[in-house]
Structure 1
């Protein structure tokens, strides 16, 4: 694994040797325990309880939470290595603890007060609490500036009103990290704040599980906040203006993680394709002997290798602070588009059997489609990268 060099001046909390042991355990868990049960997960639309318990015992609900709060303390360069392992199987497994480690948990890690961290992070890291990131709304998806959920101050409380959609883990959440507008945006800021809202607070209604194209077992739902009251201490960082920064920071980090997840899924699709090409026959010959099949395998391999290298470099530049904007968006854009192409080629190589519901590449094809949508669509990533490059060029003129 490519890790940061001593010359970078960055020293990870978890040593390379210790992390390699963690990664090997995760790889064995994924490939020996979870992969054989992918069909069970898909058919039941649920991750079995025993797999959830094993994941919690391994520390997977808090691998990116600092050690002082009960997590493993992995940095993003290590996070992406685990994500590439987790992407190799049903993405529902990673979804169970993805928001705890990622976009929800990192809001608390980066912006919460010490009291807020003490109240929630240890429980998040252990898996006792599942945290949901409640940002997306029917009229505000990839651009948080369009938020319509409101938070109004009444004495020592905030009152939340609004509706969120496609909220991952909402049906099982113990905590909602809710983004809401406290005032209209103006020259002084966005007016977006973020609140820690217990899932059992009066006025919260979680809708039925969404019926999705793929990722069976990864539950999302609509969440409505009707006169939900939370104390002033629920305002993250005790600052109204922390909300937009928290969202952008968490999403940038999450984009690198999703890119790595895409690489893991692409590797699985490639492996399934190679194995099928080497064994399936057409006219008495393995289809892997045909040059056009070899060409498809070559395109898959090139995409996986390029994606893996991009993810590793982007993660390293993120943890050193060298690039936390253009790189994450570029990596997310490339890798999530790449995995869609690799999965499509996998179905093509399998022919008619690749269209059958019980074949892994069919599930992969459906599972990875959403990766181009969440944590910001591919179109949003293009705008971020292109706009940043132009602004940078103007500054340097």
Structure 2
């Protein structure tokens, strides 16, 4: 990535050491239990891997954003897709939201503890009957003398089962459509907050996913994150970073799947020769490598635009669409080269396959990405979907 090579090498060494010691020996167990232990977040915090590019006074290291993306990439490359998604939400989305939009007291209250891994974050946008269509959101926040009263529910919330703080999107002006959306920092220990049973998923089993409900939760005035009614604008403002994270996950996963496949086809025999010696195998692998390198070039292009604060929501949509779709295609083609073994739990490629599928759905589905791109071409303002 385009970042100081010495700093990058130092962080990469730290990342690999941490994953080798703290994650690799236990990850199968976490996949089976469907949760990541709190001790792992403490270990990531102790290693300086949470809030890497945040301000030092907030517990960060003030490193380049590329280092945070490097963590996501390496997690995915090693086949820890569920942890990568959980990390993306906590360290690449929630913490930057708080640093960018929060008051000094909000940053002081939440960020240092999040950087230490003592507090886990989540963000709640999707509802049972409203996904990317924010205009259809039913969660409401009403002003009271003491602050706000929050009611509603959210679904498919990553880190939802164990989060200590959740950024909740709610309507504060139901008559204003998407312009009536505001963001709130919700302490999950408050009365009226409830979590449903863990949602069982096709893949990313280690990453917990929950339905959350808010039953007339009484929030203080300072629970409002940013300005009232500016929630949709903030979501659009932060989308490039969120989708950079998904892109980093995709790059890492494709590289990891490709490495597994190369090792397998070079030793697997069929019809008296290595599977690697068949022309079809060589063409499939060459095609994946070519697409991967092109995808990485666009990712680097977007990363530099993000640094310059010129990365648009359309750039982010193109990145997310192309890289997540590439991940699904590439991992599928890699698994095919394993034959029947690819369909077994014994071979890690099967987990790469399961974990890939959600990448074209969360953080804005491929269909929504195409709509965003089309609207930018046709000059139509996107005012209600993300």
TM over 0.5: yes
Match of 2:118 among 119, 125, 128: 128
Assess if the C-alpha contact under 8 Å between 1:61 and 1:98 holds in 2.
no
Q: Alignment partner for residue 97 of structure 1, among 84, 87, 90?
A: 87
Q: 1:395 maps to which residue?
A: none
Paired residue for 2:152?
Answer: 162
1:177 and 2:142 are equivalent in the alignment: no
Q: 1:65 touches 1:101 (CA, 8 Å); kept in 2?
A: no
Distance 1:67 1:263, change over 3 A: same
Following superposition of structure 1 onto structure 2, how do residues 273-284 of structure 1 map, counting pairs within 5 Å? Answer: 273-284=261-272
Partner of 2:383: none
- Cα 1:143–1:251 shift into 2, 3 Å: farther
SS in structure 2 opposite 1:138? coil
Residue in structure 2 matched with residue 331 of structure 1 by the alignment? 319
Q: Conserved in 1, the CA contact under 8 Å of 2:196 and 2:210?
A: yes
**1:283 offset after TM fit, Å?**
2.2
1:222 aligns with 2:211: yes
Aligned 8 A contact 1:161 1:226 in 2: yes
Q: Structure 1 residue 359 and structure 2 residue 347: aligned? A: yes
CA–CA distance in structure 1, aligned partners of residues 225 and 38 of structure 2: 32
Q: For 1:389 and 1:67, how far apart are their aligned partners in 2?
A: 41
* 1:150 aligned onto 2:140: yes
1:1-397 aligned at under 5 Å gives the runs 1-3=1-3, 16-30=5-19, 34-35=23-24, 37-47=26-36, 51-88=40-77, 89-186=79-176, 190-237=179-226, 239-391=227-379
Question: Residues 291 and 33 from structure 1, CA distance in 2 versus in 1: closer, same or farther, beyond 3 angstroms?
Answer: farther
- The alignment partner of 1:200 has SS state of coil
Q: Number of aligned residue pairs: give it.
A: 379
Residues 57, 355 of structure 1: alpha-carbon distance in 2 compared, 3 angstrom cutoff: same
* Change over 3 Å in CA distance of 1:65–1:29 after alignment to 2: same
Deviation at 1:36, TM superposition (A): 5.2
The C-alpha deviation readout for 1:29-75, integer Å capped at 9, x for no partner, is 44676445443332333335654443222122322432220112334
Identify the range of structure 1 (365-374 vs 304-313) with the bigger mean alpha-carbon deviation: 304-313
Instruction: Provide the aligned C-alpha RMSD in A.
Output: 2.0
Distance 1:32 1:57, change over 3 A: closer
Q: Name the CA shift for 1:111/1:216 in 2 (closer, same or farther; >3 Å).
A: same
Q: Which runs of 5+ in 1 are unaligned?
A: 4-14, 393-397
What SS does structure 2 have at the residue aligned with 1:221?
A: strand
Shift in CA distance, 186/43, structure 1 to aligned 2, threshold 3 Å: closer
| Greater Cα shift, 128-137 or 109-118 | 109-118
Q: CA 1:49 to 1:279, structure 2 compared with 1: closer, same or farther past 3 Å?
A: farther
Change in Cα spacing, 1:361 to 1:32, as seen in structure 2 (3 Å) is farther
Kept in 2, the 8 Å contact 1:332–1:381? The answer is yes
Post-superposition shift, 1:311?
Answer: 1.1
Report the more deviating stretch, 18-27 or 342-351. 18-27
CA contact under 8 A between 2:139 and 2:170: conserved in structure 1?
Answer: yes
The superposition leaves residues 358-392 of structure 1 with CA deviations (integer Å, 9 ceiling, x where unpaired) of 21111110101111111111111111122113329
